[in-house]
Structure 1
Amino acid sequence: MLTSANLLLWAVLQLALLILLQEAFAWWIIAIYALLLLYSATAVLQKRSAASLKLANIVAALLTLALLLNMRQAGVLHFMLQILLLSAILRLFAMRHRHEARQLVWVQYFLIASCFILHQDMLLALVIMLLFGANCYSHYKLFAPAGARLNFTLTGRAVLIILPLWLGMFLLFPRLPPFWQIPNAKIASTGLSDSLDPGSIEQLVQDDRLAFRAEFSGTLPERQQLYWRSYLYEHFDGRTWQVHPQRRQQAVAPPTTAADVATASYRIIAEANQQRNLFALGMPYSSSQGVKIGSGGLIVADKVVSQRFSYSIESALAPLPLQSEREREMNLQLAAGNPKTSEFAAALRQQHNDTEQFIAALAAFFNQQDFYYSLTPPPLGRDSIDQFLFQTRSGFCGHYASATAVLLRHAGIPARVVGGYLGGDWHPQQGYLAVRQREAHAWVEYYSQGHWQHFDPTAAVAPERILQSLDMSLSDDERDMLIPFWQRSSVLQLLSLQLMHLDYYWSVWVLGFDDRSQQDLWRTLRQHIRLIAYSAVAIVLLLLAGMGLWLLHRRRLSKPLPAKQLLLKALKPALKNKAPAQSVSACLNELAKRYPNHAAMLQQLVQYYELAVYAGQPQAEHSLKRLLQQHKSSLAALNRAIKNT
């Protein structure tokens, strides 16, 4: 019989799977699946029979058709997860027999494993393992005899045996490539995107999630150098900056760096963002597998980053050279509108013909005029640059970068907006820099002296943003917008920070253990193979010696006293089958009652035995031995009588 406890456990387990896999489901699919689970749980609680197989097949056919129609939008991978969970839910929906439950348990194993496709966080991994344990327990209850209870001692021993084997396979078993490739599902991307308009950075800054973490092999660069480039916005339509179509088609020139330029070597652990654009400092000139140095010195992944991903980069902390004349011309194009901006740029250019002097004049203009750095700037209309520069004068980094690039182009200076991240929180004990979405930033690169020079107008308006952090450049009200109420507690902040550190170690030691790490491990093992062999032999010998000493000690403790050995040898049939709690004396006294003809001899044996064992008289042991020899024939007759009864 299927118990109500198991049925409810499977309903709760499937609800947890639905929550974990919700990224793969549209809202209407989640609602339908939740209703089916609610029906199954209600039927169990009200002790009603399960739905008929006919009804389950009708529901399955209709939902499968709907999922097929939705597959183009959801993607193949998500469609597979939807079908797998649907089969489990409908099996529970119409479950009547024990063999159906066993099928359900196996399907749930696949679903639990599929959760790792979408989630790699340490805490969620613990939740998934708890679900795995619950499914294992229900599996045990299905196959165990009625009334059987789980033996936690034996289970613990099995786990202790399995853990070293699992660890050895994890470290040493070859990392095989997948036998097939599953198309990536269509999931909403996070972070920066191909377009940048007024308001996009402000919305992203209110997201406190991690964007990536960085480890440096040398010293940490100065904060003013921590500009993480991710996107180049070179096409402007009067309001929105976008990645230029020709940028995606440009050939990439081999990166070169001078010998006297400062460099940085670092590794990035990027969070899943469903994009290919990643992050790098300055001018990258070397990268690890899985990424390449794209046009404009940007780092591009070989495929969409759908899971946490690590890569290594070496960068020159220097401006990027011009790739082609077409790149310069592309960053001089102007959109219609913003006449006041054009007039202001022309007048300023007449006063400062030198490019660097013009940049200095722009910085002074932003610094000396009444410009404000704000997360909540007023909306802008058609001529957005004119309104910002000469009316509202309140904006975020995207507003200042956009206005600066347009002013430079009107002055005949090639310029582009760069989207990325600025700074990050350095954790010295753990040795990594945590960069969150709230560190999203936009700045400008302008062409001068053969290179794309860096200019951040935000530094002129709110230098605290560049030198310290975003919080220092905002008002108290805007700062409260960035900090959720639950994070204002110092205890919760400390707990969140420790969990982030644990998640970092999980990423480095578990998720980051890839082919390269395994090859390095094998190389290290080969280099020290002799030392490892000697150590293994020494450990085995120590274990064998310890086991031998333990067995010898155990044998010595369990070895019977000489007096007892004499009786065991003479009266083996009687003493061999006595109860463990019964003493030798009690057993002999019982034999004396059962066999009166041998009572006198047996009582003498008891007397000498007790004197030898309990009184410690050596003479009694010799008397016992002599008595056994005198009555050898009587003892033989008694043994035959005992065997025949």
Structure 2
Amino acid sequence: MLERKPLLLLWSGIQLSLLLLLNQAFALWVSAVFAVLMLYRLLTVFKARRAVSLGLVNILAGVIALAFFLQIKQSGVLHFMLQILLLAATARLLALQHLYEARQLVWVHYFLIASCFILHQDMFVAVIVLSVLFANLYSHYRLFSVATAKINWLQTGRAALIILPLWLGMFLLFPRLPPFWQIPNTKAATTGLSDSLDPGSIEQLVQDDSPAFRVEFTSALPAREQLYWRARLYEDFDGRSWQVNTSRQYQRGNQITASNELSVSANLTDYSIIAEASHQRGLFALATPVSSSDNVFIAPGGMLSSHKPVSQRVSYQVSSVLAPVVATSAEEQLNLRLAPGNPQTKAFATRLKQQYPDTDKLVQALASYYSQQPFFYSLTPPRLGSNSIDAFLFDSRTGFCSHYASATAVILRQAGIAARVVGGYQGGIWYPEQGYLAVRQREAHAWVEYLHQGAWHRFDPTAFVAPERILNNLDSMLPEQERALLNSGWRQFKLLQTLRQQFMHLDYYWSVWVLGFNDNEQRELWRSIRRHLHLLGYTLLLISVIAVAALALYLARARHDKTLPAAAKLLYQHLAPLLSTKQPQQPVSVFLQGCMAKYPQYSPLLSDIKSLYDKALYQNDASALAQLKVELKQHRRQLRRLHRAIKNA
């Protein structure tokens, strides 16, 4: 029977940690089931009760597994597999009685720990996962060692010094093989912008302070008013909300390349982006992207997309031209369609068109209308009725970016100008010392693109209603009461905000150096090695010569040490700095006697050492040798002071 209480507590702690790490893959009721089972096992350990019988555990596990299987459509295949794996570990711990069962449990834990990196990639969680791994390794060691065994930290350190360079070399140089199997798709909640935009969607998103993506510019940082990160095109309007057209939703890797004329005529802006997991395909780019790395593609409409849902952090490179996106023939008709309702808005648009038949002048007049009329920018706009655009433009006149963008697109379409709403992010926080731009969910934004002279031109009504939002940030233009919504809870404490920011910087470097080291980076490293192969050869030769010389010196000293008696070896080991001042032919006892005469304050200590040394050396007294070792360790500091005194004299 297995009766190691500390190990049972450790395994219970490991499983609770795994439950927390894998929690986002489980529904609330699934997490509750696991928590109850694990807490019950902890209770039985503390109260020294017997483990649950294997038959009862098998029945219970079968019922729970069946419940997991019945909701597989909601959870997805991947999350179902994680649930079954954790259930296997929990059931094994509940019925754990014999040593061989514990060995199986430890190996299941290894699989679960590795699975955590499917869901998490940030540095802070990686530290927690590695801590759980070390705890499982320790339990593995305890499982195979005798009860009185102690870890040899010196031997463990030597093994680590050998393993770490090999691990680093494999990480940098070993070929990145494709997976042997395909991870099944999972039903997962999306974050960030979705394929639908209604008047309240972005207001909810901007209260989230978590990062959306981070950008490092190879070229110069564009002006803030140019930092419009396009992510979604909303072209279908039902009178209240906007949706991504189905033709856009099902676009796959038919990469679009910009014309040579556009690429040559404008300066390129080159940048790298690390995007957080969103479980969506849409990614972020400035203006008109003209080239990208292989793991993403440029879809029609100048949108950037991934080949599969972004379930983990993704790093990609883009080159963009800060110029309007060139339109296709099909897009004009798609973005002239009108929905029923909002008669006041349509009448207003008709009057504008009659007064300003030229597109540029009409857009200018619309900008003046927003800046001159009493419109207000607010996170908490009033509810709107069935004719939501009419109610916003002529009654409440209070809204957020999505309200203004939606109303503008409807006005332009009614005036005969093709228009669409663009969802994305605007601005970001620039960290000059770290050299990157952090774009949070809070920077979510909506604006309008209208068709003119064959290209989609950007028009942002927010820039005329609340220019501080574009030129500075959202916090600067909100009233104090609404600003409190963005900085509630722990965000009010500056110290916690500072610590969070420092963690964010460390996490960014982790993403760049570790997660961002992809196949392209590895191929570039191999090219660099080939270019400097002769220099590497000379360096390795020099290191080899130094290593051989050091080994020869070590072996020579080892042979010399073998000829020394145990007492002399012990004295040279602990008093090497002190004995280095001794004359080569002078006996150790005579040297110690001389030190006693010159430094009487150290005479009692040196007298004891000399006496024990003489007994151990000349009388082969084993107890004197052991006592000498203890004496040298206990008075280490006093002997150092003696050495400094001799050296200064």
- TMscore range, shorter length: 0.7 to 0.9
Checking the alignment, whether the CA contact within 8 Å between 2:257 and 2:291 is kept in structure 1 is no
For residues 538-592 of structure 1, the C-alpha deviation after alignment (integer angstroms, 9 at most, x for no partner) is: 012122223334544565677669999xxxxxxxxxxxxxx9974565469xxxx
SS in structure 2 of the partner of residue 318 of structure 1:
coil
Number of the residue aligned with 1:548: 552
Is residue 309 of structure 1 aligned with residue 314 of structure 2? yes
Q: Who is 2:171 aligned against?
A: 170
Distance in 1 of aligned mates of 2:427 and 2:258? 25
In the alignment, which residue of structure 2 is the partner of 1:448?
Answer: 452
Counterpart of 2:189 in structure 1 is 188
Tell me if the contact between 1:443 and 1:456 (Cα under 8 Å) persists in the aligned partners: yes
The equivalences for 1:149-298 within 5 A come to 149-248=150-249, 254-256=257-259, 257-298=262-303
1:70 aligns with 2:74: no
Q: Which runs of 5+ in 1 are unaligned?
A: 565-578, 589-645
Q: 1:536 to 1:242 in 2, by over 3 A?
A: same
For 2:155 and 2:182, locate their aligned partners in 1 and report how far apart those are by CA, in whole Å. Answer: 40
* Counterpart residue identity of residue 411, structure 1: A
Aligned to 1:360: 364
Q: CA deviation at 1:29?
A: 1.2
- CA offsets, 1:582-604, max 9 Å, x none? 4565469xxxxxxxxxxxxxxxx
Q: Is 1:9 the equivalent of 2:10? A: yes
Once residues 549 and 47 of structure 1 are traced to their aligned partners in structure 2, the CA distance between those partners, rounded to angstroms, is: 58
Residue 472 of structure 1 and its aligned partner are, at CA, apart by: 1.0
Q: 1:410 to 1:533 in 2, by over 3 A?
A: same
Q: Give the share of equivalent positions with the same residue, in percent.
A: 57
What is the TM-score with the length of structure 1 in the denominator? 0.86
Equivalent residue, structure 1, for 2:506: 502
Deviation per CA, 1:99-147: give whole Å up to 9, x if none.
Answer: 1111101110111111011001101000000000111111111100121
CA contact (8 A) 1:201 1:398 kept: yes
Aligned to 1:19: 20
Q: State the Cα deviation string for residues 154-188 of structure 1 (Å, max 9, x = none).
A: 22222122111111111111110001101121110
* Contact preservation (8 Å) 2:255, 2:297: no
CA contact (8 A) 1:263 1:314 kept: yes
Aligned residues: 573
SS of corresponding position for 1:300? strand
Change (3 A) 1:165 1:247: closer
Deviations 1:509-556 (A, max 9, x none): 111111111111111011111100101110121222233345445656
Alignment-derived partner of residue 576 in structure 1: none
Farther off after superposition, 21-30 or 363-372: 21-30
Contact 1:23–1:187 (CA under 8 A) maintained in structure 2: no
Q: Residues 143 and 343 of structure 1: is their aligned pair in 2 closer, same or farther, counting only changes over 3 Å?
A: same
Would you say the 8 A contact 2:336–2:413 is kept in 1? yes
Q: Cα distance 1:140–1:481, how it changes in 2: closer, same or farther (>3 A)?
A: same
> 1:245: Cα distance to partner?
2.0
> In structure 1, how many angstroms separate the alpha carbons of the residues matched to 2:183 and 2:120?
17
Give the deviation of 1:69 after TM superposition.
1.1
Bigger Cα displacement from structure 2, 458-467 vs 547-556 = 547-556
- Contact residue 375 and residue 398 of structure 2 kept, 8 A: yes
Q: Distance in 2 between matches of 1:357 and 1:225?
A: 22
Quick check: 2:263–2:290 contact (8 Å CA) kept in 1? Answer: no
* Amino acid corresponding to residue 340 of structure 2 in structure 1: A
SS at match of 1:214: strand
Please tell me whether the aligned partners of residues 192 and 212 of structure 2 are also in contact (alpha carbons under 8 angstroms). Answer: yes
Which region of structure 1 is more displaced relative to structure 2, 32-41 or 434-443? Answer: 32-41
Higher mean Cα deviation, 250-259 or 65-74? 250-259
- Equivalent position to 2:472, from 468, 478, 482: 468
Equivalent residue number for residue 643 of structure 2 = none
Give CA-to-partner distance per residue, 1:462-493, whole Å, 9 cap, x none. Answer: 00011111111111111111123322222222
Alpha-carbon displacement from aligned partner over 1:348-371 (angstroms, at most 9, x marks no partner):
111111111111111111111110
For residues 374 and 292 of structure 1, what CA distance do their matches in structure 2 show? 36
Q: Deviations over 1:60-84 (max 9, x none)?
A: 1111111111112211111111110
Q: Residue 530 of structure 1 is aligned with which of 528, 534, 539?
A: 534
Q: Distance between the aligned counterparts of 1:458 and 1:216, measured in 2?
A: 26
Aligned-partner residue type, residue 297 of structure 2: K
Superposition RMSD on alpha carbons, in Å?
A: 1.9
Taking a change above 3 Å as real, the CA distance of residues 57 and 554 of structure 1, as seen in their structure-2 partners, is: closer
| Distance across 1 between alignment mates of 2:478 and 2:525 | 48
Distance 1:359 1:54 in 2: 75
Aligned to 1:144: 145
Structure 2 unaligned segments of length 5 or more: list them.
Answer: 565-583, 588-611, 622-649
Q: For 1:296, what is the secondary structure of its paired residue?
A: coil
Please give the alpha-carbon distance, in whole angstroms, between the structure 2 residues aligned to 1:121 and 1:187: 18
**What amino acid is aligned across from residue 530 of structure 1 in structure 2?**
H
Cα gap change, 1:13 to 1:234, in 2 (>3 Å): same
Please tell me whether the aligned partners of residues 196 and 242 of structure 2 are also in contact (alpha carbons under 8 angstroms).
Answer: yes
Structure 1 partner of 2:645: none
Per-residue deviation at 1:249? 6.0
**Is the alpha carbon distance of 1:587 and 1:295 closer, same or farther for their aligned partners in structure 2, counting shifts above 3 Å?**
closer
Describe how 1:301-340 pairs up with structure 2 within 5 A: 301-324=306-329, 326-340=330-344
User: SS where residue 264 of structure 1 aligns?
Assistant: strand
Asked whether the equivalents of residues 211 and 440 of structure 2 are also in contact (C-alpha less than 8 Å), the reply is: yes
Distance in 1 (CA, whole Å) between partners of 2:389 and 2:224 is: 29
1:131 corresponds in structure 2 to 132
Aligned residue number for residue 433 of structure 1: 437
The CA deviation at 1:331 is 0.7
Tell me if structure 2 keeps the 8 A contact 1:60–1:90. yes
Q: Distance in 2 between matches of 1:239 and 1:468?
A: 30
Could you tell me which residue of structure 2 aligns to residue 613 of structure 1?
none
Instruction: State whether residues 236 and 242 of structure 1, in contact with CA within 8 Å, keep that contact through their aligned partners in structure 2.
Output: yes
| Structure 1 residue identity aligned to 2:308 | K
Matched, 1:55 2:56: yes
Aligned to 1:485: 489
Distance 2:30 2:616 in 1: 73
Is this contact kept in 1: 2:449–2:459, CA < 8 A? Answer: yes
Paired residue for 2:379? 375
**Matched-pair contact (CA < 8 Å) for 1:269–1:308:** yes
Q: What is the alpha-carbon distance in structure 2 between the residues aligned to residue 557 and residue 101 of structure 1?
A: 46
1:105 corresponds to 2:109: no
- After superposition, give the CA deviation of every residue in 1:242-283 in whole Å (9 maximum; x if it has no partner): 111233467775422252223211111110000000000111
Please report how far the alpha carbon of residue 311 of structure 1 lies from its aligned counterpart in structure 2 after TM superposition: 0.9
* Distance in 1 separating the partners of 2:146 and 2:247: 70
Counterpart position of 1:415 = 419
The whole-number CA distance in structure 2 between the counterparts of 1:288 and 1:271 is 17
- Residue type matched to 1:233 in 2? Y
Change over 3 Å in CA distance of 1:198–1:51 after alignment to 2: same
Alignment partners' CA distance in 2, 1:245 and 1:558: 82
2:166 is paired with a residue of what secondary structure? helix
Q: Deviations over 1:300-344 (max 9, x none)?
A: 1000000000111111110011111x2101111101010100111
**More displaced, 457-466 or 59-68?**
59-68
Displacement after TM superposition at 1:53 (Å): 0.7
Question: How does the TM-score come out when normalised to structure 2?
Answer: 0.86
Corresponding letter in the other structure for 2:264: A
Map Cα deviations across residues 358-398 of structure 1 (whole Å, 9 max, x no partner). 11111111111110000000011100000000000000000
Alignment partner, residue 121 of structure 1: 122
Letter aligned with residue 37 of structure 1: M
Instruction: Find the structure with the greater CA-based Rg.
Output: 1
